[in-house]
Structure 1
Amino acid sequence: MAHFPVNHPARPLYRVLSGLIGLYILVFGVWGVFQTWGDGLFGRDANWALGLRTNLAFSLVSVVFGAVLMLGASRRDNLGHYMNLTAGAVFLVTGILMMSVLQTSANFLNFSMSTVIVSMLFGLILLATGLYDKVGPPEHAEEERRRRYHPVAEGPNR
């Protein structure tokens, strides 16, 4: 089983970061929906919202995804932890897949290279926030602290 820090002291900062990313995605999606409302769902027009190219499908998905990320950031349990890990992986995979079809007709979300870069950046940040925002009872945090500072874990150089 993977080791995730429990009750990390910087957890509020990580929740704020994931909430800000969710807010950006939500605003981007709403702006994009207004921008692309008359176009086709998977249109390939030159529609831009907040510096990223979009179409109606991508904007609608962004509204849902942004709302879900903000919900996860507002929760004080491990739901946000799992949501951030999942969202980080989804953003990274989507960025890679869309970059591979960027100049083809398979670019159904109308990505540009700037959209790919932002997707990868958001994926890395969300993955990092997911790694450090796990919560647990104080006993689990104390056990982790003891394991971390155990003499065997410190090694001869400490």
Structure 2
Amino acid sequence: MATLSAKPRPRPRMKLDEHLPVDHRLSRTYRLSAALMGLFLLAFGILGLVHRIGFFDTGADTALGLNTNGALSVLSLVVGTVLVAAAVLGGNIASTVNMVLGLAFLVAGFTFLFALDSRFNFLNFRMQNVLFSFGVGLLLMTGGMYGRVSGNLPHDNPYWRSRHPH
């Protein structure tokens, strides 16, 4: 009895950063989502620092409608700077940074949702901060994945071509 011993061909692996051309039209989407969120976070961080709030203060101090303290203001400045830098660089870098930071915002939202009204709420989160974190996370992830993940990618999309090499 003859058996077929033909191995299935391995599927070509796609790396997210290498298949999309840097000058692709979707780069504008990646840049815009990173720039808008980055500028908002920079403004939030600056306003939080200008008010000279204690670094780990858990009072009712707000900036742009969100509770804050010195640590959250500094963290917002760092993340905002990373997003603006990604927007300036554009292309695949902006897309990847959007996806990674979007996931980080979602994780932070869930983490501080469980830490509300506890001693572990060192960033002075309140419910509006949690909802903001969820919203920003979803927007950043959507902006970063736009054109990369879909069931209806056009056939000229580099990600579609990578999945269908023949």
Q: Return the TM-score normalized by structure 1.
A: 0.77
Match for residue 20 of structure 1? 36
Identity, % of aligned pairs? 35
**Given that residues 44 and 108 in structure 1 are in contact (C-alpha distance below 8 angstroms), is that contact kept between their aligned partners in structure 2?**
yes
Match for residue 50 of structure 2? 34
Residue 10 of structure 1 deviates from its aligned partner by 4.1
Note the residue ranges of structure 1 that are not aligned, 5 or more in a row: 135-140, 151-158
Residue 84 of structure 1 deviates from its aligned partner by 1.0
**Given that residues 62 and 68 in structure 2 are in contact (C-alpha distance below 8 angstroms), is that contact kept between their aligned partners in structure 1?**
yes
Q: Between Structure 1 and Structure 2, how many residues are aligned?
A: 142
Computing the radius of gyration over CA atoms, which structure comes out larger, 1 or 2?
2
Match for residue 131 of structure 1? 145
After superposition, the C-alpha distances for 1:73-116 in whole angstroms (9 at most, x for unaligned) are 11134221221111011100001000111111211000010111
Match for residue 138 of structure 1? none
- 1:133 and 1:49, CA in 2 relative to 1: closer, same or farther beyond 3 A? farther
Aligned pairs for 1:91-130 (under 5 A) are 91-130=105-144
- 1:146 and 1:112, CA in 2 relative to 1: closer, same or farther beyond 3 A? closer
- 1:2 and 1:128, CA in 2 relative to 1: closer, same or farther beyond 3 A? farther
Structure (1 or 2) with the greater helix fraction: 1
Match for residue 9 of structure 2? none
Return the match for 1:74 from 88, 97, 112: 88
Residue 145 of structure 1 deviates from its aligned partner by 7.6
Match for residue 155 of structure 1? none
- 1:101 and 1:2, CA in 2 relative to 1: closer, same or farther beyond 3 A? farther
Note the residue ranges of structure 2 that are not aligned, 5 or more in a row: 1-12, 149-154
Q: Return the TM-score normalized by structure 2.
A: 0.74
- 1:92 and 1:106, CA in 2 relative to 1: closer, same or farther beyond 3 A? same
Residue 58 of structure 1 deviates from its aligned partner by 0.3
C-alpha RMSD over aligned residues: 2.7
Match for residue 47 of structure 1? 61
- 1:144 and 1:82, CA in 2 relative to 1: closer, same or farther beyond 3 A? closer
The separation in 2 between residues aligned to 1:19 and 1:62, in whole angstroms, is 14
The separation in 2 between residues aligned to 1:110 and 1:78, in whole angstroms, is 34
